[in-house]
Structure 1
Amino acid sequence: MKILFLLFTWLPIPAECAELRAAFGPDGAERTATLRGTTDLDVFGPVIEAFLQTRPATRIVYEQWGSNDLYALTREDCAKDRSGADLVISSAAHHMVELVNRGCASSHSSAATAGLSPRLEWRDQLWGITREPAVMVYNRDLVAPQDVPRSRFDLLDLLRPAGNPFVGRVATYDIEDSGLGFLLAFSDSLEATTFGGLMEAFGRSGAVATCCSAEIIDAVASGEYLVAYNVLGSYALQRAREDVRLGVVAPEDYTLILTRAAMIPAAATGKDVAEDFIDYLLSDAGRVDLVNADLIVPIEGEDGAQIEVSGAVATLERLVGLTPALLVAMDADKREIFTRRWRNAFPQPARE
């Protein structure tokens, strides 16, 4: 690990581009690739390092992007047939399905990809590499045990009474700023009978729509918010291990399971490295690395599960699969109708 640390270097980037950019592996490597993703660098960096341990002649430049910006850039690269990233990995799976449908991806098939379930692979061009629940996070010091929401019904009950202590102190992703937030909220709208009630309760109680995972979780820990809704369990668990004030709950009515989607752009010049990395992520060794990075999160009572669960596993999980059904979330008219409904619950300042 010490050797790998020496091979890790920060790279300067313009402020208007990627959020972070770093290189792993030696200068002048025989094989190089650019990976653009939405996963935090400090989370995904160790996975890249583990991959490179047995590939000393390979160098990977990792760029961390917000999901909306990553989608826009990847789509622009595709339209201009421009070489940009050699591999794109995004939590906004609906963006990735749309890009593949648009003809922006390169094909790859291997024994590793053949082992994926049909809902985690599409057209030999898109692969689901993680397993991350959308959870509720709460402040253990400020939320009484009997008030901890175990389901969306519980959350509704907490928000209904006038003058309840949760007014203005429940947070979730802003779906206009976060592609992941949009995907989770849209999936809720298709799945939950509680969705309309939640939107009304969020609006009435002054719930906050904001960015991003780290900021939301930190604000719950500090007590600014009491509960965060639809936060990725991968980030929540990492913080909860460091901070005993944080509790993490998988909603018992159902828990959305996200898979980060990986795609090799059609104009990739480092396709060989991208294919190698995808196969590694889907291998037994790669899965261990993803578990260690909290990017594969058990919630079923398996060894290592640390999320509070009180529902039956058979009815708990709802996988957001990589299927053409996600194209509905990219339809312009449906997005506008859905976003307008969201704005009614979370009023926003006029956007220029």
Structure 2
Amino acid sequence: MMGLLRSLVLNAIIFAGLLSAGQAQELVKSYGPEDASETLVLRSTTDIEVFGPVVDAFLSTRPGLKIIYEQWGSNDLYELSRKECRDGASVADLVISSGVHQMVKLVNEACAAAYSSRQTAALPEALRWRNELWGITREPAVIIYNRDLVPEQDVPRTRFDLLDLLRPAGSPYAGRVATYDIERSGLGYLFAFSDAREASTFGALQESFGRTQAVSTCCSADIIRNVAEGRYLLAYNVLGSYAQGYQVSDDRIGIVLPSDYTIVLSRALMIPKTSTHFERAAEFLDFLLSDAGVFALRKALLISPMLDTEDGSEAETLSSTALRPISLSPALMVALDKLTRETFLRRWRSTFPAP
């Protein structure tokens, strides 16, 4: 079973790296019988082969149901969802996104249907908002490195360690540190914006990235693969679930949960108010929050074992006070305020000027 999981995750990440960051859905796959009496449309930013086994686990209890899974980039999914909300279009029955700030905005614009159940009520308040948005995963933002090329004494355990690596003139890490391009990646923008609000080190990191010609690029797959292959030595703020998925089949990838603080993302699920299969969509949500759904999400590494203090994995144990979960709340909408976003992006462009 683990071998199959490793193969699925690795294939998903390699495939995602081949996809362009174009303005369209990246992939579509159908699950369940072709002659099903009901069909749900699920749109998600999660790599389709990573989330597919979770869909299969749900459908194993719903033999007469089919799910059409559409994989999207977070920015494109947000814009499409807003348009369909304004137009009253009945297309998607479920939307799941890593761009949780964008999801909060959609809920605030009255694009979501309300739902409450025993499972949703059991979620911590930080993972549910207005009974219209729910956090279903638990994934850390990590630092990754090439185990073959980065000496153990250089592995940064904190942001201060990373700053120290980049400080010397002629640092061997100049030009070989990567992070998300926050203009192209809604998740990257969210992580960077969370960093800026979390600690004073963000400004120093931006200065160091700019001075040492760090690289910003579009997506987890591209970053992780290039660290494994040695084009980059380190990468900052990478989604830990994908990094761990790659690591189980390629041990050149090392993973660090920064001990000064580690941001934790919970992908957000929304049932659009225009859903034509509301009851089935609610059943899927309840499944994800049930013991069986949590088990499926854990197998897919979307509830990260790296955050289990008793796990005994390579990643060092973090104090609970070092974890910084991103709460689903109206405070996230500040990140999408037009003036705030443009100011933040302008500062980012000065760090990573276009070639």
Using the size of structure 1 for normalisation, the TM-score is 0.93
Residue deviations 1:69-121 (CA, integer Å, cap 9, x gap): 00000000001011121000000000000000000000111111000011100
Mapped to 1, the partners of 2:47 and 2:35 lie a distance apart of 26
Counterpart of 2:92 in structure 1 is 85
Counterpart of 2:226 in structure 1 is 219
Residue deviations 1:302-329 (CA, integer Å, cap 9, x gap): 344535225x413210000101110100
Deviation of the 1:16 alpha carbon: 5.6
Does the Cα contact within 8 Å between 1:50 and 1:289 map onto a contact in 2?
yes
Counterpart of 1:201 in structure 2 is 208
Counterpart of 2:334 in structure 1 is 328
Counterpart of 1:263 in structure 2 is 270
Mapped to 2, the partners of 1:268 and 1:44 lie a distance apart of 21
Does the Cα contact within 8 Å between 1:23 and 1:62 map onto a contact in 2?
yes
Counterpart of 2:31 in structure 1 is 24
Instruction: Look up the equivalent residue of 2:186 and give its one-letter code.
Output: G
Residue deviations 1:132-163 (CA, integer Å, cap 9, x gap): 00000000000000000001000000001011
Instruction: Look up the equivalent residue of 1:348 and give its one-letter code.
Output: A
Match of 1:299, SS?
Answer: helix
Residue deviations 1:18-70 (CA, integer Å, cap 9, x gap): 10000000112122110000000110000000111111001000000000000
Instruction: Look up the equivalent residue of 1:32 and give its one-letter code.
Output: T
**Are 1:50 and 2:81 matched, yes or no?**
no
Note closer, same or farther for the CA distance 1:301–1:124 as it changes in structure 2 (3 Å cut): closer
Counterpart of 1:308 in structure 2 is 315
Note closer, same or farther for the CA distance 1:267–1:195 as it changes in structure 2 (3 Å cut): same
Does the Cα contact within 8 Å between 1:203 and 1:345 map onto a contact in 2?
yes
Counterpart of 2:105 in structure 1 is 98
Counterpart of 1:159 in structure 2 is 166
Identity, in percent, stands at 58
Mapped to 1, the partners of 2:194 and 2:341 lie a distance apart of 12
Instruction: Look up the equivalent residue of 2:173 and give its one-letter code.
Output: F
Instruction: Look up the equivalent residue of 1:158 and give its one-letter code.
Output: L
Match of 1:105, SS?
Answer: coil
The number of equivalent residue pairs is: 336
**Are 1:276 and 2:292 matched, yes or no?**
no
Counterpart of 2:250 in structure 1 is 243
Does the Cα contact within 8 Å between 2:128 and 2:135 map onto a contact in 1?
yes
Instruction: Look up the equivalent residue of 2:95 and give its one-letter code.
Output: V
Note closer, same or farther for the CA distance 1:301–1:77 as it changes in structure 2 (3 Å cut): closer
Paired residue for 1:124, among 113, 131, 142? 131
Structure 2: which 5+ residue stretches go unaligned? 2-21
Paired residue for 2:156, among 149, 160, 183? 149
Match runs of 1:292-307 below 5 Å: 292-304=299-311, 306=313
Counterpart of 2:5 in structure 1 is none
Deviation of the 1:348 alpha carbon: 1.9
Note closer, same or farther for the CA distance 1:300–1:103 as it changes in structure 2 (3 Å cut): closer
Counterpart of 2:17 in structure 1 is none
Does the Cα contact within 8 Å between 1:96 and 1:261 map onto a contact in 2?
yes
Note closer, same or farther for the CA distance 1:119–1:305 as it changes in structure 2 (3 Å cut): farther
Does the Cα contact within 8 Å between 1:237 and 1:306 map onto a contact in 2?
no
Residue deviations 1:163-211 (CA, integer Å, cap 9, x gap): 1010110000000000000000000000011000000000000000101
Paired residue for 1:73, among 80, 85, 105? 80
Mapped to 1, the partners of 2:23 and 2:145 lie a distance apart of 34
Does the Cα contact within 8 Å between 1:113 and 1:282 map onto a contact in 2?
yes
Counterpart of 1:5 in structure 2 is none
Structure 1: which 5+ residue stretches go unaligned? 2-14
Mapped to 1, the partners of 2:265 and 2:320 lie a distance apart of 17
Does the Cα contact within 8 Å between 1:32 and 1:273 map onto a contact in 2?
no
Counterpart of 1:342 in structure 2 is 348
- Higher mean alpha-carbon deviation, 28-37 vs 258-267, is at 28-37
Mapped to 1, the partners of 2:251 and 2:308 lie a distance apart of 20
Does the Cα contact within 8 Å between 1:137 and 1:249 map onto a contact in 2?
yes
RMSD: 1.5
Mapped to 1, the partners of 2:136 and 2:312 lie a distance apart of 19
Mapped to 1, the partners of 2:126 and 2:345 lie a distance apart of 27
Does the Cα contact within 8 Å between 2:257 and 2:316 map onto a contact in 1?
yes
Mapped to 2, the partners of 1:45 and 1:73 lie a distance apart of 22
Note closer, same or farther for the CA distance 1:268–1:307 as it changes in structure 2 (3 Å cut): farther
